[in-house]
């Protein structure tokens, strides 16, 4: 079931045009920026999008104007949050995902919000990721941070299969709504 769900969502996401992705991502950005939790936050950890994910590149550039921005750097199969000053200091790393060249560490306790990627989310905040468990491990280290899944409307499904180690998100932001997870 998990593999089939993953496949159908990825196919749907891959069928989006660049224009669709940018237009939907722009609306997701507006919905995110309107959240009270986002407005109050000082340190936000973004994922750096790749392929046909919600485009976070412009959101990151915008956030750099008035927030401390961290992004993931994979070190020994674990996510390390790294502060960035400039989006253009990122370079392709594992899987072609942009990462900071160096590592400018930030204390986990200082992170107010973590934006979480996923292939599919359900209304209870559970998600199907890419299968490596990087985010679930990382999210356990930031229990006080608000965890927000960013995805397109069609990526929100009735139920995703769960595993014991999964860490759900608190909110899901799509182009048309914000879902408070139970």
Residue 13: CATH number of its domain: 3.40.50.10420
96 versus 116: the higher-pLDDT residue is: 116
CA–chain centroid gap for 164, Å, is 21
Q: Would you state the pLDDT for residue 24?
A: 97
* Listed residue (114, 151, 132, 142) closest to 74, CA to CA: 132
Its pTM stands at: 0.95
Whether 52 shows a pLDDT value over 90: the answer reads yes
Tens digit of each residue's pLDDT (9 = 90 or more) over 164-174: 888 999 999 99
Evaluate if residue 113 carries a pLDDT over 90. yes
Percent of the chain with pLDDT over 70: 100
pLDDT surpasses 90 at 137: yes
Reported confidence tier of residue 127, pLDDT bands at 50, 70, 90: very high
- Tell me how many domains the chain contains: 1
Q: Is 58 exposed, middle or buried (0-12, 13-18, 19+ CB in 10 A)?
A: middle
Range of the domain at 129: 2-180
What whole-number distance in Å separates Cα of residue 74 and Cα of residue 134?
Answer: 8
Question: In degrees, to the nearest 5, what angle opens at C-alpha 139 toward C-alphas 86 and 175?
Answer: 65
11-23: average pLDDT: 96
Strands (DSSP E) contained in 62-159 are 68-75, 78-84, 90-92, 98-100, 113-116, 120-122, 127-128, 146-150, 156-157
**Stretch 79-87: mean pLDDT:** 96
Q: Which of 42, 49, 90, 81 is nearest to 63 (CA)?
A: 42
Structure tokens at 141: 């280290």
pLDDT for 130 beyond 90: no
């Amino acid at each position: 079931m998990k593999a089939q769900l993953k496949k159908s969502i990825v196919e749907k996401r891959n069928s989006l045009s660049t224009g669709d992705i940018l237009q939907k991502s722009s609306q997701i950005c507006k919905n995110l920026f309107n959240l009270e939790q986002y407005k109050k936050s000082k340190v936000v950890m973004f994922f750096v999008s790749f392929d046909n994910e919600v485009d976070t590149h412009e959101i990151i550039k915008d956030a750099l104007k008035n927030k401390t921005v961290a992004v993931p750097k994979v070190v020994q199969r674990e996510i390390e949050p790294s502060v960035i000053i400039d989006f253009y200091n990122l370079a392709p790393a594992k899987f072609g995902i942009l990462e900071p060249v160096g590592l400018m560490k930030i204390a986990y306790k200082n992170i107010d919000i973590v934006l979480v990627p996923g292939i599919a989310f359900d209304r209870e905040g559970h998600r199907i990721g890419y299968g490596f468990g990087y985010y679930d491990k990382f999210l356990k280290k930031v229990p006080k941070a608000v965890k927000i899944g960013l995805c397109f409307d069609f990526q929100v499904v009735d139920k995703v299969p769960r595993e014991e180690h999964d860490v759900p998100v608190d909110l899901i932001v799509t182009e048309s709504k914000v879902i408070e997870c139970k």
